[in-house]
A and B are shown apart, each in its own frame.
Chain A
Amino acid sequence: MLTINMAIAIPFIIAALIPFVYKRFTRVHIGWFVLFVPAVLFIALARYIPAMAKGNTYLRSFDWIPSYNINFSTYLDGLSMILGLLITGVGTLVILYSIYYLSTNESLHRFYLYLLLFMGSMLGVVFSDNMMVLYVFWELTSISSFLLIAFWFHRKKSREGAQKSLLITVSGGFGMLIGFIMLYVMTGTFSVREVIATISTYTDHQLFLPAMLLILLGAFTKSAQFPFHIWLPDAMEAPTPVSAYLHSATMVKAGIYLVARFTPVFGGDATWFWLVSGVGLFTMFWGSFTAVRQVDLKALLAYSTVSQLGLIMSLFGIGSAAYYYDFSTSSIIYTQATFAALFHLINHSTFKGALFMIVGILDFETGTRDLRRLGGLMAIMPVSFTIALIGSFSMAGLPPFNGFLSKEMFFEAALNIGQLDIFSLSTWGVIFPIIAWVGSVFTFVYCLIIVFQTFFGERHLERLERPPKEASIGMLTAPAILALLVVGIFFFPNLIGRYLLTPAMASVYPQLALEGNLGQTISAWHGFNTELMMTIGVIIVGALLYLFRNYWKGVYKLFPASWSLDALYNYLLEQLEGSAYSITNFYMTGSLRNYLVFIYLFFIALAGGTFLYTGALSIDLSGDAPIGIYEGLIVLVMIIAAISILFAKSRLTAIILNGVLGYSISVVFVLLRAPDLALTQIGVETMTTVLFLLCFNFLPDWKKEDAPKRSKALNMGIAVSVGVLFVLIALSVQNGDLFNSVSSYFENAYELAGGKNIVNTIIGDFRAFDTMLEVTVLLIAGIGVFSLAKLKTKKGDQNLEE
């Protein structure tokens, strides 16, 4: 059977094949080829569902870098299962949709390559158990999202949106990395499961709180929580399939996944509770409030996504309160919030995915997404209208759609938490249901805006770019399937509850799962209780607000554009660029001599300072071998060559003298019985001499310096101290015993690595990882030189260096 590790690897492998397939099959839309990947993975994952419902989990581990505790271990449990199914399921539908959305004139190979890259990394995020591996995949999703947002890179806004999302999510990712390392320092393991098992003994550790805050930073930036939500609306410059996939269904859920995954670690702590639920709740309100003022349909959906993510986030925060009571029966009631969160996670992906696809269709068929230009399209696009209606009303929390069920559960959770008297909730708890209700009212208003402004009202065909018509069947298939799911889940919610949500609950509450059944029954009708009253209130107030929206729209004028978070972001970015520019200009003088002085001064300060500070400069010559006559002669030659360079009249002489120095070193290596080093030195010396010759071609004529005496003396001082420092370090290295001797490896290199040449066994086997990275660095350097040379030739004769 297909293992989870393979499931992660497959998208990457197919992505590597895409350029070749694209060249070979020019006639067929390459999407049909890509479509198989998520479809097959979805089926493969779905086959695990019955076993998961019985409570099984699957752990599989590959040793990756065992010496650093980094293993490519995957863990399939209920929580990762839900995300995995979303990634592959929505992925299949989005790719099907994109086949009709993107014409073959676009550079499709890039699009699908990035998309598969994203899919693989996202699967990696949810299935990885090792935090370091999780982090790598996490950043890969940010990078692939960056590439996808900037897919139409000729647009300025696309590039800016991509940059913004990358800056915000990657900075959060760095924070998360530090948090992971702190957890490692505390618990001594990178495995999330082992951390969960042992964390209870470390809750008083001084790193516990910083680690929690940093990991939350990663989660909040990724899931676009206030105040980091500003990147998500700008990310809407991406093609609509990308917005539907990355920026509503999957990538933005990664932060939520992280919070759910780490609830067993940090849950029960007051800071965690207040941060997750408070930030989530405020984001829910702010997102829905801001969404109402939008005129671009995609921007409206972006803010609505922000708001819905906040809702899910706050539910996880509320659910974490169950940990406070150490798994007594009285805490079962608060696990209901987590159940609702997981349920809404699925529901949101279905209705928001459908809505995004419909907005894409509107854009595709009419050429605009502006609400002021759309209207009265119901008769022309009846199928799109139906799907939009289902999606919007589900989001608004109306029956008979799945959003109604999870919205009711959200109200229930908000009401329950108000009655808790821990974390000073007795005073503040009452705000939970209030904010939840106000946010839902605004949600209702913008849902009405989506449906009524677009499909009802007067029709102004002359305002559209092209005459609208209903989309093709192929394009409507994917959103129609999602809309069917929206309705289907309403009627059979307990199917999902039993097979998907209950196993996932066991991942969030592992101990509680052992004691009793965490599963809950979802029912549409609870009688006339407070939750239902709240929903009815939302409908009445929301409808009134929608009808009289022109009277209260002035509220938004209280938040001028110059006071927004976007303005702050732009200001910070400008300041950063400006100060970086001036600092760089300060020391990048364009003079090679200055650069060398910087390098040497830094070296003297750092290396010399370290040696002096640690007292490592101790020279003991007694253990050294005696110096023979040949060594003495060679060194004499080298001294003469080195001093002669200073008095050389032409560049060529200087280069040759420098070569004498280099080749003499290789002779020394031969004398000291290090033939490998000697060979390498000869090769490197030859190459450097050739490079010197090439580069000197570009330098002005060698002429006598007329620098002032003082700067000459300074240069001499620096040169002499660097030389002295090198000699001192070389002599004192012999006495250093800072690290264990590694010679035991080399003595039995033949048994361990099968090579008699220990230099090569070090390069190719013992330290192969270093070599691999060195080769990569070398490649990057080569590409760098190549592109610099190309860049300059492209700019014509204008030489930037002068």
Chain B
Amino acid sequence: MKSNDVILQAVTKIVVFIILTLAVYLFFSGHNNPGGGFIGGLVLAAAVVLLILAFDVNTMQRALPFDFKVVGALGGFIVIATGFGSLLFDVPFLTQTMGEFDVPFFGEMEFSTVTIFEVGVALAVVGVVVTIILSISKDV
């Protein structure tokens, strides 16, 4: 992708942030509204892919200096670790729990261990999708 598309690049610079915000929003709204870890992860990956398309792989790597293989592996680890985490509390594997807490400034908020699980799902999705796209595109 050697083409030098000024308009696409200019738009991308702004749009990527919108997409990233949307991804985070979707991720957190997933508990009670449409969204969730898988969708959030996909949208995050979409932002990364847009960066690759508009610029190139190296620019993307400079902007987001992560090893996406590690990101994916970390996601997988979190997913499995939450399963084992529930064993520490003497409840069946992968039992999720939640509670409501009074957080200063934000007021009453609900926290749930599902969120940790979903973080793992999202990271795994981003990591794997970007890894696949990177490895195929590098294979030219």
Contacts and interface: CB of A to CB of B under 8 A. Distances in A.
A675 B114 CA distance: 20
Contacts of A790: 135
B54 interface: no
A772 B53 contact: no
A743 interface: no
A755 B137 CA distance: 39
Contacts of B128: 778-779, 781-782
Contact of B114 (A694, A697, A764, A783): A764
B133 to A, nearest CB: 7
A575 interface: no
Given A63-B92, A789-B135, A759 B73 contact: no
A245 B45 CA distance: 48
B94 A754 contact: no
A697 B38 CA distance: 28
Interface stretch (A32-40, A120-128, A683-691): A683-691
A6 B40 CA distance: 36
Contacts of B98: 754
A591 B17 CA distance: 42
Contact of B96 (A684, A753, A756, A776): A753
A36 B89 CA distance: 27
A755 B114 contact: yes
B46 A771 contact: no
Contact of B49 (A679, A687, A761): A687
A751 B50 CA distance: 40
A755 B32 contact: yes
Contact of B46 (A687, A698, A786): A687
Interface in A155-172: none
Contacts of B135: 785-786, 788-790
B59 to A, nearest CB: 17
Interface residues of A, number: 49
B83 A772 contact: yes
A782 B79 contact: no
Contacts of A769: 83, 93-94
A763 B39 CA distance: 12
Interface in A686-722: 686-687, 690-691, 694-695, 697-698
Interface string B19-47: 00000001000111111111100110110
Contacts of B72: 779, 782
Interface string B120-140: 110011011101110111111
Given A694-B137, A786-B69, A62 B33 contact: no
A756 B33 contact: yes
Contacts of B76: 775-776, 779
Interface residues of B, number: 54
A757 interface: yes
B73 A779 contact: yes
Most interface-central of B53, B79, B112 (chain A CB within 10 A): B79
Contacts of B93: 63-65, 769
B18 interface: no
Nearest to B23: A683
Instruction: Give chain A's interface secondary structure class.
Output: helix
A676 interface: yes
Contacts of A565: none
A754 B110 contact: yes
Most interface-central of A768, A781, A792 (chain B CB within 10 A): A768
Interface string A47-90: 00000000000000011111000001000000000000000000
Contacts of A785: 131-132, 135-136
Contacts of B37: 763-764
A779 B80 CA distance: 12
Nearest to A779: B76
A698 B137 CA distance: 10
Nearest to B41: A683
B42 A680 contact: yes
A441 to B, nearest CB: 53
A786 B137 CA distance: 11
Most interface-central of B31, B69, B124, B132 (chain A CB within 10 A): B132
A772 B91 contact: no
B87 interface: yes
Contact of A756 (B31, B80, B137, B139): B31
Contact of A684 (B31, B32, B42, B53): B42
Given A62-B90, A683-B46, A757-B33, A690 B133 contact: yes
15 contacts: A62-B87, A64-B92, A680-B39, A754-B31, A756-B32, A760-B114, A763-B37, A768-B96, A769-B93, A771-B79, A775-B79, A775-B124, A786-B135, A789-B138, A793-B138
Given A65-B92, A769-B83, A771-B79, 20 more contacts: A72-B87, A676-B39, A680-B38, A683-B46, A684-B42, A687-B133, A757-B34, A760-B31, A763-B37, A768-B117, A772-B83, A775-B76, A776-B79, A778-B125, A779-B127, A782-B129, A785-B131, A785-B132, A785-B135, A790-B135
Interface of A: 62-66, 72, 675-676, 679-680, 683-684, 686-687, 690-691, 694-695, 697-698, 753-757, 759-761, 763-765, 768-769, 771-772, 775-776, 778-779, 781-783, 785-786, 788-790, 792-793
